[in-house]
Structure 1
Amino acid sequence: MLDAADLPDDIAALKTMLLAAQAREVRKDERIERLEKLVAAFKQAAFGRKSEKADPEQFDLALEDLETAIAAIHAEDEADSRSGKPHSKPRAANRGSLPARLPRIEEIIEPESLTCACGGGLHCIGEDMSERLDVIPAQFRVIVTRRPKYACRACTDGVAQAPAPAR
């Protein structure tokens, strides 16, 4: 997009810029039309009624024409984009963790029972923690779900943990 400060005040210069832009558009439209015709001819030659009779080397000629035309269009587009403003860098996205400034609501989901099948008590050996963003109109908050893992010290029957809630 052009900035109003970049445009000249002279009407003749503005007209010249407008005519140059229209000429570029016409050239691009003509190239696109030519490429579409080449693609249609290539499809006809490759998949048409008499495709088995065609010489395979002729397909290479059609592909060379396409590659040449595409390279010319790319070169012109790069020249046009260089003359304009430089492209800004894409926004960096942090998908690792949610910002610490958001309020957090912690909910701890315990297993149904903290007694082992052998009769011993389960003790906490770790936990799974997940964070998800919850949106309340005009307010953001993070819901932290903790699911402690419990194991018995008396036996090795395994680990007890509550199932994860639906998201």
Structure 2
Amino acid sequence: MSRQGIHLDRSTLADWVGRAAFELRPVFDALIADLKRSTKLFVDETRAPVLDPGCRKTKTGYFWALARDDRPWGGGAPPGVAFTYAPGRSGQHAERILKGFTGVLQVDGYAGYNRLIAPDRVGPDITLAYCWSHARRKLVEITRTGAAPIAEEGVKRIGELYRIETELRGLSPETRLAGRQAGSAPLIADMRTWLTHHRARVAGKSPLGEALTYIAKYWEGLCAFLTDGRIEIDNNTVERTIRPIALNRKNALFAGHDAGAENWATIASLIETCKLNAIDPYAYLTSTLTTIVNGHKQRRIEELLPWNYQEK
């Protein structure tokens, strides 16, 4: 607007965003409900600085991202992501957000997700699949500080797993599973021997010892991709959807209040889902808000999800 010579007060713009988010909230609710009906999701969280009224400083909330992308194995569900604002990072927020979801959850190594698979937990069954990218990252950091032959070998071994995944991308779950059993399973078995050997010889408190301990701790979940062709080798899908949030956080610095953070999450969810489906977010939001204002029926709200939008 400024580039066109139109001055709008910041409070006016914020009010417009809040009003738009209010109208779009039913669409957001339908989006997150649709994602939770999936049998496999990615989840991650990122900081959301929020102004703390009366304290003249910010508090740290979190955006929890639920993402679906079945394209690597030819699944028919459209890709999407939904961000939910929560005032903290406790596992209880993950449990609340994921209530009703059953299936495979691809995550990083954050301990808060353990709450979802606790033995005494009452609720739908969830299986955690962990991320080889995070395991590799810890080894790569060690190689950057000097000669580190064990870490370098670990990076090379993980790279072989990724090479196989590149060849299998886009194939059916059955073909991917067969390819992994033939190519990746022997590499994983050999890596386990390698891991046990070096853990017994490396100081547990050293950077390398901690990196190897991380891999051993999450070994079962890291190997989940060998049992299900739909599971990815890492959690990068959801990390890519979070990147624009992190960039915008640097630009905006913080949300004005909790409700502002919720509005941010609502609109970001629809924009990023549009991008995943190669839809122009501006055209979608313009059309959807117009349709809502013109009296679109609540019982047909799923018609307004981004992947159902057709450019006129």
Q: Name the TM-score, length of structure 1 as normaliser.
A: 0.29
Question: Relative to total residues, which structure has the larger helix share, 1 or 2?
Answer: 2
* Structure whose alpha-carbon radius of gyration is higher: 1
Higher strand share: 1
* Higher RCO structure, 1 or 2 (CA under 8 Å, sep 6+): 2
In the superposition, the TM-score normalised over structure 2's length comes to 0.17
